[in-house]
């Protein structure tokens, strides 16, 4: 899949279960979500079917049970959704995203240090690619 899809909160929650478990039936997903969400197993099954139609999950049949697995990585989904957010909400300005993040919530010193490390690493990688 060249472009990762936009996903709703429940779709992401279902995918997170599949990413964690690697493969699961609708009942397994429902059980994993059950403690946090009051949803019917038929809703989970419907969403899995729709995700499969979109190429986001795939399934194998084991007996009479469909066992689903993710067909797209968490990294791909995060990248696509972040790119869409940056493009649509922040007018393609990644610095506006960082500014919003830094001003809208408390960021720990450890998080700031980690961000600085990531920026430094990105700069080093950029020099390696050019040089």
User: What is the distance between the alpha carbons of residues 31 and 107, in angstroms, rounded to a whole number?
Assistant: 34
pLDDT band per the 50, 70, 90 thresholds, residue 2: very low
Pick the CATH number of 9-70 from 1.10.10.10, 3.40.630.30, 2.40.50.140, 3.40.50.1970: 1.10.10.10
Both tokens assigned to 3: 């472009």
pLDDT band per the 50, 70, 90 thresholds, residue 126: confident
User: What is the distance between the alpha carbons of residues 130 and 110, in angstroms, rounded to a whole number?
Assistant: 30
User: What is the distance between the alpha carbons of residues 68 and 124, in angstroms, rounded to a whole number?
Assistant: 40
Q: Supply the pTM of this predicted model.
A: 0.79
Domain boundary assignment for the chain: 9-70, 90-130
pLDDT digits 0-9 by tens, 20-72: 999 999 999 999 998 677 899 999 999 999 999 999 999 999 999 999 999 99
DSSP, res 22:
S
Give the torsion through C-alpha atoms of 73, 34, 46, 71, to 10 deg. Answer: 10
Which residues have a Cβ under 8 Å from the Cβ of 6 and sit 6 or more positions away?
Answer: 80, 81, 84
Q: Mean pLDDT of all residues in the chain?
A: 90
pLDDT digits 0-9 by tens, 80-105: 899 999 999 999 999 999 999 888 87
> How many CA atoms, within 13 angstroms, populate the side-chain half-sphere of residue 56?
23
Do residues 53 and 37 make contact, with C-beta atoms less than 8 angstroms apart? no
User: What is the distance between the alpha carbons of residues 94 and 22, in angstroms, rounded to a whole number?
Assistant: 32
Q: Which residue has the tokens 């960082």?
A: 98
């Amino acid at each position: 899949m060249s472009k990762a899809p936009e996903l709703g909160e429940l779709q992401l929650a279902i995918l997170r279960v599949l990413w964690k478990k690697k493969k699961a039936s609708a009942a397994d997903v429902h059980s994993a979500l059950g403690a946090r969400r009051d949803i019917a197993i038929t809703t989970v099954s419907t969403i899995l079917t729709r995700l499969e139609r979109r190429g986001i999950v795939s399934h194998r049949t084991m007996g009479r049970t469909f066992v689903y697995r993710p067909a797209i990585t968490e990294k791909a989904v995060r990248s696509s959704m972040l790119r869409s957010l940056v493009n649509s909400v922040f007018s393609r300005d990644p610095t506006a995203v960082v500014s919003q993040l830094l001003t809208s919530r408390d960021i720990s010193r450890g998080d700031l240090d980690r961000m600085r490390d990531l920026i430094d690493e990105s700069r080093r990688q950029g020099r390696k690619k050019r040089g």
